[in-house]
Amino acid sequence: MLDFLESEIPHIHFKDVSFSYPGEKENLILKCNFSIKKTGFWMVVGNNGSGKSTLLKLINGIIKPNNGIIKSKANIGMVFQNPDHQILMPNCRSELLININQNISDYEINKKIEYVLDQVGLNGFERRPVHTLSGGQKQRLTIACALISNRNFILLDEPTALLDQTSQLKVLKTIKNLTSDHKKPLSALWITHRYEELIYADSVAELKNGFLSGWQQPSKFQYN
Ligand SMILES: Nc1ncnc2c1ncn2[C@@H]1O[C@H](COP(=O)(O)OP(=O)(O)OP(=O)(O)O)[C@@H](O)[C@H]1O
Ligand SMILES: [Mg+2]
């Protein structure tokens, strides 16, 4: 059922990347170096305002660095911090449909919609108007859209911020399963400020003072 996820392994490489927003003197991201070369569940933790969302926008090319090089060979999907910034369509089914990136039969489409809604705990929500969804349900819809979109690298910006603990665990386990599938690997870069989520990661790094620490195993992760 996971055959819709591309199999090619994505690569992301940052070399001495610096970035400041227009009009700001200080670099928010400062000589940042890191690579992601394997599939897996990658997490970045950092304080409010440390530049986590900015880092994701640099990775997917929404903004460009002032200095340094970003190399990316990945088919990137994005789950924004605020679901209202990304949902376009009036109901769950139509939102999922505009994220399907393939020419496939109605039967396959329906199967995939059912599958991704189940993965995020939104079974039976297919016909539901978006304006009737809670914030957490909207967030889970955007995650379902990322899953159905045939990407091999998904950026998730604090995807559990609006979720209760049950939904939080369900979404964490879904991403963990997809990133652990060796036949059809998926990579996910997950931003969080919830330290209890880090144990689900394969690798963890901290963004602080514009700099991303080296990747560490969650069991050995130390805050600077
Ligand atoms: N478009 C923009 N123009 C100017 N400053 C910005 C812009 N977007 C973000 N910033 C500033 O850059 C800094 C980092 O923002 P960013 O959203 O990347 O942080 P964050 O780590 O994701 O924070 P949070 O944990 O609150 O989501 C903040 O001080 C923010 O006000
Ligand atoms: Mg943010």
Q: Please report the domains of the chain, with CATH numbers, ordered by start residue.
A: 40-50+75-220 (3.40.50.300)
Mean pLDDT, residues 51-61? 96
Reported confidence tier of residue 184, pLDDT bands at 50, 70, 90: confident
Which of ligand 1's atoms lies nearest the C-alpha of 51?
18
- CB count in 10 Å sphere of residue 1: 9
| Predicted model pTM | 0.91
Reported confidence tier of residue 224, pLDDT bands at 50, 70, 90: low
Q: From edge to edge, which strands make up the β-sheet containing 40-45?
A: 76-79, 153-157, 187-192, 40-45, 203-208, 211-212
What confidence score (pLDDT) does residue 134 get?
92
Cα–Cα distance for residue pair 160/155, rounded to 1 Å: 13
Cα–Cα distance for residue pair 14/98, rounded to 1 Å: 31
Strand-pairing partners, residue 198, are: none
What confidence score (pLDDT) does residue 3 get?
45
What confidence score (pLDDT) does residue 2 get?
44
Which of ligand 1's atoms lies nearest the C-alpha of 46?
21
- CB count in 10 Å sphere of residue 116: 24
What confidence score (pLDDT) does residue 128 get?
98
Q: Please say if the pLDDT value at position 67 is more than 90.
A: yes
Q: Which residue CA neighbors atom 13 of ligand 1 most closely? A: 49
Q: Which residue CA neighbors atom 17 of ligand 1 most closely? A: 53
Q: How far is CA 155 from CA 79, 114, 129, 181, 191, in A?
A: 6, 22, 25, 18, 8
